[in-house]
Amino acid sequence: MDSMPEGTSTGAAPEQTHAPAPRRIKRRLMGALIVLHALSLAAAAVLVLRSRGGEAKVRGEGDKVLLSLSPKESVGWVSIRGPIMSSEGGKLWERGAEQWARRIEQLADTKGVKAIVLDINSPGGSVGAVQEIHSRILRIKREKKIPFVALFGDVAASGGYYIASACDKIIAHPGSLTGSIGVIFSVSNMEGLFSKVGYKVDPIKSGKHKDIGSPARPMSAEERQILQGLIDDAYGQFVQAVADGRNMTPAQVKPLADGRIYSGHQALELKLVDGLGDSVDATKLAAQMGGIKDDKPRVRRDTERLNDIFELLEMRARLFLGLSPAGVTLTSVAALPRGLLYAWSGGW
């Protein structure tokens, strides 16, 4: 076969070149947003259908049909896992005190939910975040008369126990770690390190205590006294919350509240929990307290499932765009927020 003359077209498509990087990123972003939007609409539709509650039961003789739309009685279930902190981004699917509190309230407002189980696996967290969830539980109990049962996982210490103390009953595994009733405020002194590298901090402040807790200098005796006063005040709030929730006096709680941790078995002997068991036991107890007669009560986790869907979508989108997964952070003490913590430091 004769070779084609130079420059003659063969009809074949010219070799494609890759689009510029900014254009590829833009296309990926648009595609990810479209997928996220479509899936979020689908997930929301499923949630709306589920939230209508029960099942349509059709019974009839001949042309007579009885349609029942009453929601089936169920036990609500919310899992509180990891450090209890205030969320930063404010996203609907983010894990944080506000989101957990909202999910608890949503379940309490759901027709057919007669009781709620809080599945707690947390070493605690910041004082404000812990108290946000604690106060929300107390308000729901007071206004809606819905009983709460706390279930302890591996760890339900410090702030995790603070939240549980608002519940009507507490169930723990024999080997669960709990207790650590107390407050901590960590202050680092890096003056020696700073001097070695030639780094010096010279603050200009409005008052002598404005830089209290600065890692660039030693703490004065007066400053230590000020911070100790904060600790004592927050500690008193913790002790009072436990005393109120466990039908004890502060004098009875204080000997147990020196910061030590207990096993679930030890906590039962000290009356810090009401029983030993697993998720089935907690569900049955909650159903009984809520007046549900079914031996195998239905567990409702719809809002949690939607939350997990959004988290999964965000993670997939970030991986698709070549970004680091959201929420992957160091859990060392140095990464913790500064301030008062209802937290067991050994659980971080």
DSSP symbols for 188-217: ---HHHHHHHT-------SSTTTTTT-TTS
158 burial level (CB within 10 Å; 0-12, 13-18, 19+):
buried
CA end-to-end distance (rounded Å), the chain: 76
Catalytic (active site) residue 210:
yes
Burial class (CB in 10 A: 0-12, 13-18, 19+), 222: exposed
Q: Measured between alpha carbons, how far is 276 from 147 in angstroms, rounded to an integer?
A: 19
CA distance 163 to 290: 20
Which residue out of 74, 122, 126, 158 is catalytically annotated?
158
Could you give the CA distance from residue 93 to residue 220 in angstroms, rounded to a whole number? 43
Pairwise CA distance, residues 280 & 294, whole Å: 13
- Does residue 101 contact residue 128 with C-beta atoms inside 8 Å? no
Q: DSSP letter for 131, please.
A: H
Is residue 137 within 8 Å of residue 170, measured between CB atoms? no
Residues 43 and 307: their CA atoms lie apart, in Å, by 10
- In Å, what is the CA distance from 6 to each residue of 11, 12, 13, 15, 98? 14, 15, 17, 17, 71
Of how many residues is the chain composed?
348
Q: Where are the beta strands (DSSP E) in 9-147?
A: 57-61, 64-68, 74-81, 113-122, 124-126
Residue the block writes with tokens 């949630």: 47
Return the bridge partners of 149, or none.
117, 169
Which residue is catalytic, options 57, 208, 210, 271? 210
Positive or negative: CA dihedral 262, 264, 267, 273: positive
Q: Rounded CA gap, 157 and 84, in Å?
A: 11
| Residues assigned a catalytic role | 158, 210
